[in-house]
Structure 1
Amino acid sequence: MAIAYRQRIDDDTEFALWKIEEEANDLYNQLQLNENEKAYVEKLSNGKRHLHWLGTRVLLRKMLRTDEYIDCKVDNHGKPYLVNLPYHISLSHSFEYAAVMISKTHKVGIDIEQIKQKVERIASKFMRPEELAFINNRQKIEHLYVCWCAKEAIYKCNGEKEVSFADNIFLSPFNFEHHGILNANLHKNDVNLNYTVGYLQYQDYMIGYVKGDM
């Protein structure tokens, strides 16, 4: 399967989606992995987690347009980074899709989620009362998913653990559209960062994406 959707944010920043229709072996054969990575893949059960790991790496390879080995590691906070290539990256996945965002100049964050009713049950855990107040009841589920994806994308872009969606990431009121932007702020201790987050409803999935500081 080729790239299902691609969006350029600026000259140095873009994201893309890959619909995972291949078998695990087909994805595996498109990658170059070192011995540690091969051992990690072997430990994954043959299910969605296995396909998601392989799918994000195949998509990353396509976006970087290289057949060379890509040394992709995660730091102490769980944030992926490239050892020998000049790109910031963010990875996400949900059910049939893998998502990757890359930038040469800025930190990035992306999240993709399949839209399901369950988000309503947990809304109070990641939303503040003033944020719940601006949710459009006619499109409540979609509106809540934008909020979740936006906060998750900011969390990934910031790249630090111990950040609470409800207590540290604040969304300004916005009207839900199928493709739009919203303003947000991350505040914790001496960290105070403003973000403009893009979002997109793609079929029955919601995507949040953000470009941070350099």
Structure 2
Amino acid sequence: MAIAYRQHIDDDTEFALWRIEEEADDLYKQLQLDDEEKAYVEKLSNGKRHLHWLGTRVLLRKMLHTDEYIDCKVDAHGKPYLVNLPYHISFSHSFDYAAVMISKTHKVGIDIEQIKQKVERIAGKFLRPDEMAFIDDAHKIEQLYVCWCAKEAIYKCNGEKEVSFADNIFLDPFSFNTRGELSARLHKNNINLDYVVSYMQYEDYMIGYVKGQM
């Protein structure tokens, strides 16, 4: 399967989606992995988690236009980074899709989620009452997913653990469209960061993506 969707955000930043239709072995053959990565893959059960790990790495290779080995590590906070290439990266996956965002100049964060009714049951765990107040009943489920994806993208962009979606990431009111932007802030202790998060609905998935500071 080729890249299903690709969007250039600026000269140095883009994201892409890969629809995972291959078997794990087909994805594995497209990768070059070191011994540590091979051992990690072998520990993954043959399910979606396995396919998602392989799919994001295949997509990253396609976006970087390389057949060479890519040294991709994960830091102490769980944020992926490239050891020898000048890109900030972010990974996400949901059901049949893998998503990757890259930038030479900015920290980035991306999240993709399949839209399901269950988000309504947990909305109070990641939104505050003032944020719940601007949710439009006509597009309630979709807008809740925008909020979740926006906060998740900011969390990944910031790249540090111990950040609460409800207590540390704040969304300004916005009206839902199938594609749009919203303003947000991350505030924790002495950290105060402003973000403009972009989002789009793709098939029955919601995607949120953001550029951070340089």
Structure-1-length-normalised TM-score: 1.00
Superposition deviation, residue 190 in structure 1? 0.1
Superposition deviation, residue 147 in structure 1? 0.1
Q: What secondary structure, in the 3-state scheme, does the structure 2 residue paired with 1:6 have?
A: strand
Superposition deviation, residue 19 in structure 1? 0.0
Q: Name the residue aligned to 1:17.
A: 17
Deviation per CA, 1:3-48, whole angstroms, max 9, x where unpaired?
0000111000000000000000000000000011000000000000
Q: Name the residue aligned to 1:78.
A: 78
Q: Name the residue aligned to 1:177.
A: 177
Deviation per CA, 1:40-76, whole angstroms, max 9, x where unpaired?
0000000000000000000000000011100000000
- Which AA in structure 2 matches 1:170? F
Q: Name the residue aligned to 2:186.
A: 186
Q: Distance in 1 between matches of 2:144 and 2:7?
A: 23
Q: Distance in 2 between matches of 1:212 and 1:43?
A: 33
Q: What secondary structure, in the 3-state scheme, does the structure 2 residue paired with 1:45 have?
A: coil
Q: Name the residue aligned to 2:137.
A: 137
1:39-78 matches, cutoff 5 A: 39-78=39-78
Q: Distance in 1 between matches of 2:112 and 2:126?
A: 16
Q: What secondary structure, in the 3-state scheme, does the structure 1 residue paired with 2:33 have?
A: coil
Q: Name the residue aligned to 1:37.
A: 37
Deviation per CA, 1:105-164, whole angstroms, max 9, x where unpaired?
000000000000000000000001000000010110000000000000000000000000
Aligned residues: 214
Q: Distance in 1 between matches of 2:102 and 2:48?
A: 23
* Structure 1 residue ranges (4+ consecutive) displaced by more than 4 angstroms after TM superposition: none
Q: Name the residue aligned to 1:196.
A: 196
Q: What secondary structure, in the 3-state scheme, does the structure 2 residue paired with 1:102 have?
A: strand
Q: Name the residue aligned to 1:98.
A: 98
- Which AA in structure 1 matches 2:213? D
Between the aligned residues of both structures, percent identity stands at 83
Question: Structure 2: where are the runs of 5+ without partners?
Answer: none
Question: Structure 1: where are the runs of 5+ without partners?
Answer: none
Q: Distance in 1 between matches of 2:82 and 2:206?
A: 26
Q: Distance in 1 between matches of 2:200 and 2:71?
A: 30
Q: Distance in 2 between matches of 1:25 and 1:200?
A: 31
Q: Distance in 1 between matches of 2:181 and 2:64?
A: 26
Q: What secondary structure, in the 3-state scheme, does the structure 2 residue paired with 1:105 have?
A: coil
Superposition deviation, residue 213 in structure 1? 0.4
Q: What secondary structure, in the 3-state scheme, does the structure 1 residue paired with 2:70 have?
A: coil
Compute the RMSD of aligned alpha carbons: 0.3
Q: Name the residue aligned to 1:118.
A: 118
Structure-2-length-normalised TM-score: 1.00
Superposition deviation, residue 169 in structure 1? 0.1
